[in-house]
Amino acid sequence: MVTAALLSPVAFRLVLPSQSSSKYKPTMCCPRRSNSLNTCRNKPDSPPLHAFQVKGQTQGPPKKNVTEKRLKQLHLKPRQLDIIMDTFGGRLQNGGLVFQQHFMIRSYELDPDGKVSIVALVNRLQESALNHLKSVGLHADGFGSTPEMHRRDLIWAAYRLQIEVERRSSWADVFQGEIWISSASAKHLKFGWLVRDCKTGETLIRANSLYLMINKKTRKVSFAKEVGAEIKPHVMNCDPLINQDKKKLLHLDFDTADYVRTGFKPLWNDLDINQHVNHVKYISWILESTPHSILDSYNLSVMTLEYRKECGRDSILQSLTAFNKDGTDHFAEDEGVEFDHNLCLEDGTTEILRGRTKWMPKIYGEGLKNKLMST
């Protein structure tokens, strides 16, 4: 909610020199208190404030190629310069079928381990997908709506996300993301996303994301062959980065869950342009019911999410988590630990999301080589 700032009854105004003054010596004075909020009105004889220029700060036309000159002064190699120029833009590759973009990890994207958070990574995935659609001329309005979708009042809604994390970057690291449309039809759109380390070329993340087309008013899945025809020329036929997890995602309730957190209420800031809670927010909520011992000692390795229902601003949710024992009563620590997740309305009537995560011990993700060498 946008709130108006209250104006203080005491305001400062700039006293301008008269036209006959030979020297410019601006001073500040404090006017008397006024019951009116408009304490900054100019006198009739005063020149307009926007016409006043401070001596010694004459503004002229901007110099050409200033940015290029400054970048050259940094003595950057061509590849480094290329990365900087591409960080906020991106470029099309493979005949326009692949969109490549570089991202720098920001300090506010880090988790307590000093690594980029999974929430920040999925936000980057969403950003890359939208930039890709825009770069090929398929973005008309909203979150990636094509021109035909805009005419029919249709939008995209996340349905399934599968992500595998090999390693997460640290602050100020630059990674290269490549995204492409792996399949499309009259009702769905699927992306493949590959992330590499810019310095080493090491693969960091693989992901598949599937979106369904829904009507903006009825919020029901819609079909439009014309939309499929719009997207078809931009589909890259290739093998999927990740084989689809065919293992059924389980439904949890209060009795079958091992960990429960209640009272999650979306904030105004959690809504996106489609007037529902952005699907990335759900990840934060399922992590809140994950045991702290797992968050402290394990790294998220695999995450599969299935979005089953929208939730809005007035929803109150609960997050349920259970150990996935796969029919056994023990865990092989070196094989990781799996959890089932469920988000639903607090009254239990509506299921919002099902998910599964796999976590690997941090020593296996980062320090296994040192441990093996010491034994």
Q: What's the average model confidence in pLDDT over 312-320?
A: 93
- Choose the catalytic residue: 150, 198, 274, 324: 274
Per the annotation, the verdict on 274 as an active-site residue is: yes
Torsion of CA 139, 141, 147, 151, to 10 degrees: 170
Per the annotation, the verdict on 131 as an active-site residue is: no
318 near 264, Cβ under 8 Å? yes
Cα 84 → chain centroid: 20
Decide whether 71-244 matches 246-375 in CATH topology.
yes
Per the annotation, the verdict on 276 as an active-site residue is: yes
Please report which confidence band the pLDDT of residue 295 belongs to, taking 50, 70 and 90 as the band edges.
very high
Please report which confidence band the pLDDT of residue 308 belongs to, taking 50, 70 and 90 as the band edges.
very high
Q: Which helix (H) or strand (E) holds 370?
A: helix 368-374
Write out pLDDT tens, residues 73-129: 545 455 544 444 444 468 888 888 999 999 999 999 999 999 999 999 999 999 999
- Architecture per CATH, domain 246-375, reads as Roll (3.10)
Q: Which helix (H) or strand (E) holds 121?
A: helix 118-135
Q: In this predicted structure, what is the pLDDT of residue 75? A: 55
pLDDT greater at residue 270 or residue 335: 270
Q: What's the average model confidence in pLDDT over 282-306?
A: 95
CA distance 17 to 27: 9
If one counts every other C-beta atom within 10 angstroms of the C-beta of residue 354, the result is 21
Please report which confidence band the pLDDT of residue 145 belongs to, taking 50, 70 and 90 as the band edges.
confident
CA distances to 16, 79, 109, 162, 288 from 175, in Å: 52, 13, 14, 20, 28
- Choose the catalytic residue: 188, 311, 341, 344: 311
- Find residue 354's DSSP bridge partners: 306, 342
Q: In this predicted structure, what is the pLDDT of residue 139? A: 79
pLDDT greater at residue 65 or residue 325: 325
Fold (topology level) of 71-244: Thiol Ester Dehydrase; Chain A (3.10.129)
Q: In which residue are the tokens 């008269």 written?
A: 18
154-165 and 174-184: which strand pairing? unpaired
Q: Give residue limits of the domains in the chain.
A: 71-244, 246-375
Alpha helices in 222-305 (DSSP H): 225-231, 281-288, 292-297
CA distances to 200, 308, 319 from 193, in Å: 18, 22, 28
Cα 357 → chain centroid: 20
- Choose the catalytic residue: 276, 279, 299, 341: 276
91-93 and 203-215: which strand pairing? unpaired
Q: In this predicted structure, what is the pLDDT of residue 79? A: 52
